[in-house]
Amino acid sequence: MLFTPVSPEIGPAEVGGAAADAPPMAFLDAVCAFAGSGTPTEALDEDGIPYLVNAFWTAGQRQGHALHEISYRACFKPQLPEFFIARLTVPGEAVHDPFMGRGTTPLQAALMGRRPLGNDVNPLSVLLTRPRLAPPPIAAIADRLDEIPWHRGAPGPEDLLAFYHPDTLARLMALRAWLQARCKLHDPAPDPVDDWIRMVALNRLSGHSPGFFSVRTMPPNQAVSIAAQRRLNAKAGVEPPPRDVAAVILRKSVRLLAQGVPPPHPRAKLCVGPAAATPAIAAGSVALVVTSPPFLDVVQYAEDNWLRCWFAGIDPVAVPIAMLRGESAWTGMVRAVLEEQARLLRPGGHVAFEVGEVRRGRVLLERLVWQAAEGLPFARLAVLVNRQAFTKTAQCWGVANNRSGTNTNRIVMLRRL
């Protein structure tokens, strides 16, 4: 069933590639006219919810800025926030993510000259995000690495020898102690070079190539358990090889900075706490929220990040990450978060709330978000479905080629009244 989208005016932001001096276009009108992969947007109605389906960001465009290339479980591609930031904000305006994870939305906002705002319940998120908003020069990173007393590492936890050669673990212990003495976990303004080195080290703790400190392990967006790593080593018949920790950090730094640093942008604000309570961010100060919450209990964030938390001095058990199995509890959490976003957004500001299919397509989370927004001061505009190149329209409502994960980006679009 086709529907006629509403046409909320969004102000002077450039929409859909229009010239800067052209009259502003309505966002949904521009989305309907968008011809991703040379095809028009399909407009559908499912149970009273309007859907717009297209390849809004395609596989051929998935080449984000090099600064995005740090690993984190279940993160979206930078092309997703880029799509909305370009169409719903102007330079200088604030863009917020209350579940910022590795910081994709705040970083993309900085790269586009907007004010980066972000929040996450895990302080690890700030450690991964903040250094990339204002990176130090490569020369300063190299000089600082030369200052570290690599030979002073105390013996590390014996269990970690499942991941690391004894010499590598000793160097990691030296780096960890040095950083913890100079770069406190909750310091709001740490030395930017120390902050950067810690961020890169957190990203190199475990992975599948010599570019990481560890023996070959699972993909770098999660750390397996000690027992699982021992089984992997035994099956492959390998022992952890020695790694030059400083060299690995410097090589990764060069790659991250290969395309330069973000342009001048308003000062960032990154918070640690629940997404439904961010008092440090002023009411009415945000133009756009782009976010993606935990998808029920699909991703075990504490288990995936245990090694990073150890290195950073974070107790993962003490981080209150919401792992909600039931649809009712999850919908209640989303409603509380949307209430807070309604406080933060200026009138006419937007929310792009991304979810995916879970439980083999039996649960369509966008419908729960749509339900959660009912009665709040938002116009519920539509659900955008980013159809991947290998996905047919008929498969958008289930998981046909990715049985246990997510298959499409589904973004619930809301406008603050």
Instruction: Go through the domains of the chain in sequence order and give each one's CATH number.
Output: 27-96+110-117+282-310+342-416 (3.40.50), 136-256 (no CATH)
How would residue 297 be classed by pLDDT, with cut points 50, 70 and 90?
Answer: low
CA distances from 266 to 114, 240, 347 (A): 7, 44, 21
Q: How many other CB atoms sit within 10 Å of the CB of residue 412? A: 26
The whole-number pLDDT of residue 302 equals 63
The whole-number pLDDT of residue 168 equals 97
Average of per-residue pLDDT values in the chain: 86
- The helix-helix angle for 79-88 and 104-111 (nearest 10°) equals 50
CA distances from 349 to 10, 74, 79, 199, 245 (A): 8, 26, 20, 32, 45
Which residue is associated with the tokens 């022992």? Answer: 239
* Per-residue pLDDT tens over the stretch 167-220: 999 999 999 999 999 999 989 999 999 999 999 999 999 999 999 999 999 776
* Per-residue pLDDT tens over the stretch 9-65: 333 333 333 333 333 458 989 899 888 778 889 999 999 999 999 989 865 445 789
Residues 113-125 have a mean pLDDT of: 97
Phi/psi at 179 (5° precision): -70, -40
* Per-residue pLDDT tens over the stretch 204-218: 999 999 999 999 997
Residues 383-391 have a mean pLDDT of: 74
Residues 374-390 have a mean pLDDT of: 88
How far is it, in rounded angstroms, from Cα 71 to Cα 290? Answer: 19
How far is it, in rounded angstroms, from Cα 46 to Cα 308? Answer: 42
In terms of DSSP bridges, do strands 378-386 and 363-364 run parallel, antiparallel, or are they unpaired? unpaired
